[in-house]
Amino acid sequence: MDGEQDQWIRVPVGDDAARWATRVRCRRVLLVVHNVTSATRLLDVLPLFHDDLGVQLLATCTGSSAFRSGVAELLADTGVPVLPWEQALATPVDLAISASFGGELGAIKGPLLILSHGIGYTKRLAAPSTEHRAPSTEHRAPSTDAEAEAAEAPRRERLPPVFGLAPDWLLADGVPLADALVLSHPEQFDRLAAACPEALPTAVLGGDPCFDRMLAARPYRDRFRRALGVGRGQRLVLLNSTWSPQSLLGDGTGEEAGGEGGGGDDTLPALLPRLASELPADEYRIAAVLHPNIWHGHGPGQIRAWLDRARRAGLALIDPLEDWRQALLAADVVIGDHGSVTYYAAALGTPVLLGAAPLDSLDPDAPIADFIRTTPGLDARAPLRGQLDALIESHVPQPGPMRFTSSVPGEAAVRLRRAFYELMDAPEPPGPALLLPLPLPDPEPAFRTAPLYVLTRCLAGPEVVVTRYADPAREPAGAGDAHLAVHEDTRDPGQLDLADVVFRDGASDDPRFGPPGRWAAEVLERHAHSALAAYVTGPSSCIVRTRGGALLRLTGGPEADADPAVYASAVHAWLAAGRTLAALVADGLTVRTGTTAHPVLVTAEADGSAAGGTRQRPSPTPADRSRSSAHAGDADTPRAGRRSPRTGS
């Protein structure tokens, strides 16, 4: 065995595999991975082989993609034996499944089935090296307007072929590369017939397993929203970018920049600070789904670095492999581009606003091209909140995306398993063909360490309106008194010296901080300007200490689901308005964020943890309860009045 073959696996395939394997008569199914993006579609269909003891799953990577990062880890996580590409080409298999066209697929020893890894075949992309293929021959449908066709021909000749529907991709030595080409809608058959009729006999209507998983998970939308930290009355704004310089994240400086459509404007860097400045943090949740080629092309660490300020302001970066579909189901509106995820959003009936919309990279005859032409675009000069709210409230779903994503919704599992086993010339397992349900994501509440610009208004009775903006680029418009609330872990410690409210979160018994009351006392001693310190102990409660030394527990009622730091800002506003602690304890508090009311129970805490210059204050007595709220000289009453806190991260 030469040096290269030293890396070949010996079980369950190999020259002497029968000596070591336990089940030796299995049919072999090879999952051919091009990159992480294509692997996601293979993971969708992998469960169709579950419970079949007559099938041995194998995996390999072609090594032909520019996006190689992350593939080894993904394959390791599947637990399926991974063959080096050279061994995969030398190993006879009963079925090979690929979700891309990269690599020497024609050299695989066994039937080949190719799936789309997006919403069908829509994008133009130059074919890879064609050394193993016959020269490309142009195939077009006859034109009814010869003059128009002649004028259009030079431009079309300059454009790359449509990925997955052109001879450049589909033919090897003049014959179809795949034994089965899975399509999701008959319109794709029509485009295939016009572009490459030689491959039409291999076409199979198999539906869209990714879309079917989303459709099946629709009843759990509220669970996905709660997992992403979307509370009552909040709207989830999902940013979505495919890869390429013309995408929402792209800077427009690549070879394909320019051309027809709205791409290449470097939209996202300008959009993110506007989202923070114009959308109240407690009324909108912001999340981003970025194409796996972005993550694994530039590196996850680089992506997090680029978006660090936005993340500190509360942006949730969604896992591009596991959780993007759940985020799509949870979204109230999507700001996207010409990628598949944006089209999936529209197919689910979600309002879409296009932040980038290049048409030259799309097949003009594909349904997504019509979608891009007719979907409203982001107006960079108009207020964002007005655009988003108006779109959500007036939205009527377009029928096209739902119709063209799959002509057989809910049937992909049945159709694909049938195609798999027919190619293997094997009987299907007796049980039903089923895909895996989408898992519930791990909880990801909004976590903000950027300074918060807070506007408050005290209404009649025990009610305070609180509007917070996370690290706004400019002072937000709005009525009310302003103060600055800063997380203790802020990137800029200088902000703590300006903060009216300092807060943090953690377990109440975390020995690193000591009891919450002691931590709060130390914070107020350290930051003489601050009027209140708040330790968030859980999703519905926090401990606050006033400058006068009073220690209070704030607990959200059954209908309250706001960030408890909001309750602390409401208490600060209450005291700044000259109202009393006694009234807070007696009547509780209603904190309003947007149109949502959060009832809060206020209780006095026993205090044995004061330190330094903060003095202890006893629990309110009946006499205290009768004191007038006009006692502006009370030590617990911070300086009232509107000011303009300076923010920055």
pLDDT of residue 259: 37
Q: Average pLDDT of 384-393?
A: 97
End-to-end Cα spacing for the chain: 59
pLDDT of residue 160: 83
Q: What is the pTM of this model?
A: 0.89
The Cα–Cα gap between 213 and 405 comes to 13
Q: Which residues does residue 241 pair with via DSSP β-bridges, in sequence order?
A: 290
Q: pLDDT (tens digit, 9 = 90+) per residue, 24-58?
A: 999 999 999 999 999 999 999 999 999 999 999 99
pLDDT of residue 129: 53
pLDDT band at 609 (very low <50, low <70, confident <90, very high): low
Q: pLDDT (tens digit, 9 = 90+) per residue, 94-147?
A: 999 999 999 999 999 999 999 998 898 998 877 765 443 433 333 333 334 445
Q: Average pLDDT of 523-547?
A: 97
B/e letters for 31-54, b = 16+ CB within 10 Å, e = fewer, are bbbbbbbbbbbbbbbbebbeebee
pLDDT of residue 636: 57
Q: Are 229 and 285 in contact (CB under 8 A)?
A: yes
pLDDT of residue 607: 80
Q: pLDDT (tens digit, 9 = 90+) per residue, 395-427?
A: 999 999 999 999 999 999 999 999 999 999 999
pLDDT of residue 606: 87
State the CB neighbour count (10 A cutoff) for residue 619. 16
pLDDT band at 608 (very low <50, low <70, confident <90, very high): low
For 294-351, strand residue ranges (E) read 316-317, 333-336
Tell me: pLDDT of 315 over 70.
yes
Tell me: pLDDT of 258 over 80.
no
The Cα–Cα gap between 213 and 217 comes to 6
pLDDT of residue 2: 64
Tell me: pLDDT of 283 over 70.
yes
Q: What is the CA radius of gyration of the chain?
A: 30
pLDDT of residue 637: 55
Which of the pair, 258 or 174, is modelled with greater confidence? 174
pLDDT of residue 645: 52
The Cα–Cα gap between 476 and 115 comes to 48
Which of the pair, 199 or 127, is modelled with greater confidence? 199
The Cα–Cα gap between 551 and 308 comes to 34
pLDDT band at 611 (very low <50, low <70, confident <90, very high): very low
pLDDT of residue 252: 82
pLDDT of residue 408: 98
Q: Average pLDDT of 179-200?
A: 96
Tell me: pLDDT of 513 over 60.
yes
